[in-house]
Structure 1
């Protein structure tokens, strides 16, 4: 195993340790927000997921040619789960 292979996980672990309290506050804020405004939280989650999917797949997946196509993929995946679009980027 090379030094660069070890360095990345160590940096992640260090970052998580340094920002543990901040992450806990952020998590609690999300929890409170979801309880207070469940529909708004759901809508925001779907829009963020569609944005991330569009950013990852646009230009590499010919079926994701617009934000609307990415939004359709995300909403269909969350409901019936059957659509003729598949991610092509590597995880």
Structure 2
């Protein structure tokens, strides 16, 4: 099952909570590299204006989806808004 994770930072809350977002992003990138090596990462990218980032994962079940999201160093609900949605690629749709 594929899903997207769209993360949107809240700059005001990041500053209020004194979070070193650059360090968190480094840890997040290392985490994505690990998920890629495990074959779970389909796509990842960030907006060039700092508005957020999009990740597409392919996992076996909902429990794995929840674990993958919650173990990500970027999973900081107090400062990062994260939306998760089921997802199909164009290839998924046209290969039915």
Q: TM-score, normalised by structure 1?
A: 0.30
Which structure has the highest helix share of the two? 1
TM-score by length of 2: 0.29
* Structure with greater Cα Rg: 1
Structure ranking higher in strand proportion = 2
